[in-house]
Amino acid sequence: MNTATEHRNRRVLIIDDNFEIHHDFRKILAPDELTRYADSEALLFGSSIKTVAAPQFDLDSAYQGQEGFALVKKALEEGRPHAMAFVDVRMPPGWDGVETTRRIWEIDPDLQVVICTAYSDYSWGEMFEKIGNRGGLLILKKPFDAVEVLQLAQALTEKWGLHQESRRKMEELESRIAERTRELQQTNHALQREVIEHQRAEESLRLFETVVEQAKDSIVITDAALTLAGPTILFVNPAFTKMTGYTAEEAKGQTSLILQGPNTDKTVLSQLRHYLKRREALASETISYAKDGEGLMLEWQIAPICNAGGAITHFVAIQRDITARKRFEAQLFQSQKMETVGKLAGGIAHEFNSILTAIIGQSELLLGDLPAGSPLTQNANEISQAAGRAATLTRQLLAYGRKQFLHPESLDLNRVIAGMESMLQHLMGGNVATQIIHAPGLQAARADAGQIEQVIMNMVINARDAMPDGGKLTLATSNVTLDEESVSRYPELKMGKYVMLAITDTGTGMTEEVKAHLFEPFFTTKGVGEGTGLGLSTCFGIIKQSGGHISVYSERGRGSTFKIYLPQAD
């Protein structure tokens, strides 16, 4: 073997179930002599060509496809792979040559394969379908020519070697490129790190600015001074301006005193200074005041900001306006309280009504049994009249507790009010002007006509009593649609279409304390003996039982407006 080919892989695998075939391959590829057959050389180059040393091939033999597969696998594991293989097509009873080739290429795709066949067992299309269109696959017809076998062996082993050499050179090239890349990366590492850190700082700053600018909560940054007036404001975000009315320019340089007012809890502020001196965060709620003097219930938390050395440099406060939430919670609590009181009142009234029925019945029997002129007749009448007055009160309590028997119908509220107009004029007297505004195209409401008339009558009488010196009473109807935002103010109300009646007076108005108890049974602002305190509670119960709602808006000295919402009829 010459030195030019010493490094080449000449390992060839023969897979054939015929022992003679293996013998033939050995005579061609691994003869005892180191020279090629003279007749083969003459066929290739002519008799005048000088004979030269031929390459020796290292042959392995397998007599079944599975055995050949095992030899290929073992050679790979030992690091001595075969360069090529001659594979017979027919090798019963195991794998045929096509299946063997497919299995071998799954573990050694570089192996050059020559399929040996004496028959047209497979077409090219069938073979490619089973194996795949591989460049390393050739066909050798049996009986084969020795020169052709020698040519194939030499060419394919050379091809295998060139492929490996090419791969090695490519790997070396990739290694050199990778090494050069690492050198460049190391050279530029400091600059890249500086650029990345700078970019991250800019991104963090932009993100912080975006968060602060778009935050719905108020964000205030102050210095670290803990004077009696508090630290000085250095920065406020747009949400602070929207919430308080103070611009950033107006707030900067001020202290937290600008948000304090008559109802601000001073103990919370003292507690805040105490916690900040101890370098601790604090969260709390307190009443603050906007620039226009409007009270705000704020939920806030404040925490110290420290530098790298651990010293406090600033304080940051996050404030959230929870005024609406607190108002809603109060409304919900009031609604739940009214519901509980209503159930209690209705239950008591129901039981008491049963007792009154017996009292009234027995008093009537007693009056029937007494002889004419009996001195007990007056006593029996007093009992019957007192029981009747008590029954009226129980009916009002039942109305408040929503335990009445209603007869809802499709109701034209404009027509109901029009039918009561003359009576309303009479009730108001000459010193109260009455105006009725009928909405055109008013939809029908679903309610009990008699009960709605009672509600209107009770509320009009209350309005008259609120205007002892005269004034103006207005009744106005309209169609309204309550969306999600609208019903959020009324926890017990559902979204949908309603008919609304607004009753407005120009009377004395009410305080917030009075409004908080307005619809509770037996609550009254009138003197002793001037009212039972069941009028508005009865109205409340009737409207609630009808699936509606009553709301009130009132200012002291500027009158009141009651709005009655009734569901529209389908």
Taking the C-alpha atoms of residue 155 and residue 133, their distance in angstroms, rounded to an integer, is 20
User: Could you tell me how far CA 119 lies from the centroid of its own chain?
Assistant: 70
- Residue 568 DSSP class: B
Q: How far apart are the first and last CA of the chain?
A: 106
pLDDT by residue, tens only, the chain of 570 residues = 343 444 578 999 999 999 999 999 999 898 754 344 445 545 555 544 444 455 679 999 999 999 999 999 999 999 999 999 999 988 888 899 999 999 999 999 999 999 998 776 677 777 777 877 666 578 888 888 888 999 999 999 999 989 889 989 998 998 898 888 888 888 778 787 888 888 887 787 777 777 777 778 888 888 877 666 678 888 888 888 888 888 888 888 888 778 877 777 777 667 676 666 666 677 777 788 888 888 888 887 888 888 888 788 888 888 888 777 777 666 665 555 555 555 555 556 555 556 666 676 767 777 777 777 777 777 777 777 676 656 555 555 554 444 455 677 888 999 988 888 888 888 787 788 889 999 999 999 988 887 888 888 888 888 888 888 889 999 999 999 888 877 776 666 788 889 999 999 998 888 887 777 777 766 665 544 455 556 677 778 788 877 888 888 888 888 999 898 999 987
Angle (deg, nearest 10), helices 413-428 and 449-465: 30
- The predicted pLDDT at position 59 comes to 94
Query: Could you give the count of Cα atoms lying within 13 Å of 440 in the half-sphere of its Cβ?
Result: 0
Cβ atoms of 522 and 540 within 8 Å: the answer is no
Alpha carbon distance 300, 180 (integer Å): 57
Q: Is the dihedral of CA 307, 313, 314, 315 positive or negative?
A: positive
Encode burial over 254-293: b for 16+ CB neighbours within 10 A, e otherwise: bbbebbbeeebeeeebeebeebbeeeeebeeebbbbbeee
Interacting residues of 385 by C-beta distance below 8 A, sequence separation 6+? none
What pLDDT sits at residue 143?
85
Q: Which domains does the chain have, with CATH numbers?
A: 3-167 (3.40.50.2300), 215-321 (3.30.450.20), 327-396 (1.10.287.130), 409-567 (3.30.565.10)
Residue 234 belongs to what H/E stretch? strand 233-236
Q: Which residues contact 208 (CB under 8 A, 6 or more apart)?
A: none
Note the pLDDT of residue 36. Answer: 46
Q: pTM higher than 0.75, yes or no?
A: no
Q: What CA–CA distance (Å, rounded) separates 217 from 245?
A: 14
For 209, the enclosing helix (H) or strand (E) is helix 146-214
Residues β-bridged to residue 409: 447
Class of residue 26 by CB neighbours under 10 A (exposed 0-12, middle 13-18, buried 19+): middle
What would the two tokens of residue 50 be?
A: 């000088």
Cα 487 to Cα 551: distance, rounded to the nearest angstrom: 12
pLDDT computed for residue 491 by the predictor:
62
DSSP, collapsed to helix, strand or coil, labels residue 451 as helix
* Percent composition of the chain: helix, strand, coil (DSSP 3-state, to 5): 50, 20, 30
